[in-house]
Amino acid sequence: MTKKRVAVLISGRGSNLAALIEATKTPGYPAEIVLAISNVPGAGGLEVARLAGIATQTVPHKGLPREMFDARIDAALRAANIDIVCEAGFMRIHGEAFARAWQGRILNIHPSLLPAFPGTHVHEQVLAAGVKETGCTVHFLTPELDAGPTILQAKVPVLPGDTVDTLSARVLVEEHRIYPEALRLVAEGKVRLADGRAAFDV
Ligand code: GRF
């Protein structure tokens, strides 16, 4: 089987990128990561990619209208013949045209059990709400922020005395587990976006 060509979009340290890279080393894994793009110059994740021999690009967003930034990302993805895009700690919101163009071929990870706690400062929101359980979600990216159909979720407990650091570390362990699983499902065609829903064939 030809491996799907994957690009990972990052803004930060890239621990999910590292987990995805590690997973692609598994024999028979149906995808390979061929490109990492950061909107933040010097993001730690760029070094993660370089050390793994993966091509990197920086596409700064500063001063660019959203559509122009999206167009640059889109051009880089097309030039690299990308099949699937994984957003991993990518802190920019795309315009509707970009989201539609890549619909079904672009995934995002979010550190909560969506639809609970979308947006930013997620662990702060979780702790402030006093809920006993949180987790993470890999979903198809759609034009509506953090509202695309779920591919996989994992739960973790919120424990007494938790801080943003302890909670995010617990959630991150699960992120690193489910993102490679979700990418595998999509790359194998076992989950696809159909009529605005995630259709499973597993
Ligand atoms: C993760 O918690 C991800 O869910 C969130 O930002 C964080 C990125 O971490 N959107 P990393 O850059 O993958 O280490």
Tell me how far apart the alpha carbons of residues 48 and 9 are, in angstroms, rounded to a whole number: 13
Domain that holds residue 19: 4-197
The residue whose CA has the least distance to atom 10 of ligand 1 is 89
Q: Residue 45: inside a domain, yes or no?
A: yes
Confidence of residue 42 (pLDDT cuts 50, 70, 90): very high
The residue to mutate among 153, 175, 176, 177, having the most atoms of ligand 1 within 8 angstroms of its beta carbon, is: 175
Active-site choice (94, 110, 123, 176): 110
Q: Is 121 a catalytic residue?
A: no
Nearest residue (by CA) to ligand 1, atom 2, is 111
109 lines ligand 1 (CB under 6 A): yes
Residue 202 lies in a domain: no
Of 146, 151, 65, the C-alpha closest to 105 is 151
DSSP 147: -
Q: Quick check: 202 pLDDT over 90?
A: no
pLDDT(60) > 90: yes
The tens digit of pLDDT for each residue in 69-112 reads 999 999 999 999 999 999 999 999 999 999 999 999 999 999 99
Number of domains in the chain: 1
What are 142's two structure tokens? Answer: 């759609």
Cα 192 to Cα 1, 46, 163, 186, 197, distances in angstroms:
18, 29, 36, 6, 8
| pLDDT (average), residues 11-37 | 98
CATH number at residue 122: 3.40.50.170
Nearest CA owner, ligand 1 atom 9: 89
pLDDT tens digits, 142-192: 999 999 999 999 999 999 999 999 999 999 999 999 999 999 999 999 999
Answer whether residue 152 is part of any domain: yes
What are the angstrom distances between the C-alpha of 74 and each of 37, 77, 115, 160, 188? Answer: 11, 5, 27, 44, 23
Cβ–ligand 1 contact at 137 (below 6 Å): no
Residue 1: pLDDT band by 50, 70, 90 thresholds? confident
Checking if the pLDDT of 56 tops 90, the result is yes
